[in-house]
């Protein structure tokens, strides 16, 4: 797989589908064959980035390829890969509805079947830390250590993970849809009904073992 191309295409997707604005947000992918991490550069327009702008580093953060400065959230990405070895893609987004709840410090509950199937756990908001700091990397990793596939960075945005880039973007999309529905329920004066843990477990088993086509 051409991971540099994947990073470029994913950056454009993040902008074009409204997951962030301008040059905010960042993306990384792990090559399971080499263990190398491919990551977006800092502060560059995703529409004009080329494969030469993508940075390649190892899990220790040593730069292997690339002349650009990596995103300031490099340590956050690397930290996630360390605590979640099954994760191969990390997408840090700044979408509207998810970010609303990051600013209020709330948890986005599992109120939809697709949220239970995809997010895995309620999406909680981390304690505030400045962007690009070791403190932010730590609170993010702490929030994701329980096996959930998303968390909110207080007053900042969201972090979504998956075993592939496609899976990480699916988490980002479902999180934002769930956040919008949750927001609209609250705005209308309603109270959402959270799914029971029994039903959440059943949904996750269904997705893992029964949903989709069997490869032959």
Report the catalytic residues: 73
| Dihedral sign, Cα of residue 137, residue 140, residue 142, residue 145 | negative
- For the chain, first and last CA: distance in Å? 22
Tell me the C-alpha to C-alpha distance, in Å, between residue 191 and each of 50, 86, 122, 185, 187.
46, 35, 16, 7, 10
Distance CA 70, CA 28 (A): 10
- What lies within 8 Å, CB to CB, of 33 at 6+ separation is none
Cβ density class 128-151: b for 16+ within 10 Å, e for less: ebeeeeeebbbbbbebbeeebbbb
Q: 70 φ, ψ to 5°?
A: -70, 165
């Amino acid at each position: 797989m051409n991971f540099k191309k994947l990073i470029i295409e994913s950056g454009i997707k993040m902008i074009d589908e409204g997951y962030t604005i301008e040059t905010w947000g960042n993306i990384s992918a792990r090559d399971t064959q080499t263990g190398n991490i491919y990551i977006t550069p800092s502060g560059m327009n995703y529409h004009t980035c080329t494969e030469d702008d993508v940075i390649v580093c190892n899990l220790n953060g040593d730069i292997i390829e690339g002349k650009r400065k990596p995103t300031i959230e490099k340590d956050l990405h690397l930290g996630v890969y360390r605590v979640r070895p099954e994760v191969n893609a990390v997408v840090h987004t700044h979408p509207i509805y998810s970010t609303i709840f990051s600013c209020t410090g709330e948890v986005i509950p599992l109120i939809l079947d697709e949220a239970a199937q995809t997010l895995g756990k309620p999406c909680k908001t981390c304690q505030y830390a400045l962007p690009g700091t070791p403190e932010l990397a730590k609170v993010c990793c702490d929030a994701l250590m329980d096996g959930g596939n998303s968390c909110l960075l207080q007053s900042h945005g969201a972090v979504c993970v998956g075993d592939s880039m496609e899976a990480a973007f699916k988490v980002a999309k479902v999180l934002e849809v769930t956040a919008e529905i949750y927001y609209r329920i609250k705005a209308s004066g309603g109270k959402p009904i959270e799914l029971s843990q029994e039903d959440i477990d059943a949904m996750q088993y269904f997705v893992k073992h029964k949903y989709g086509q069997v490869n032959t």
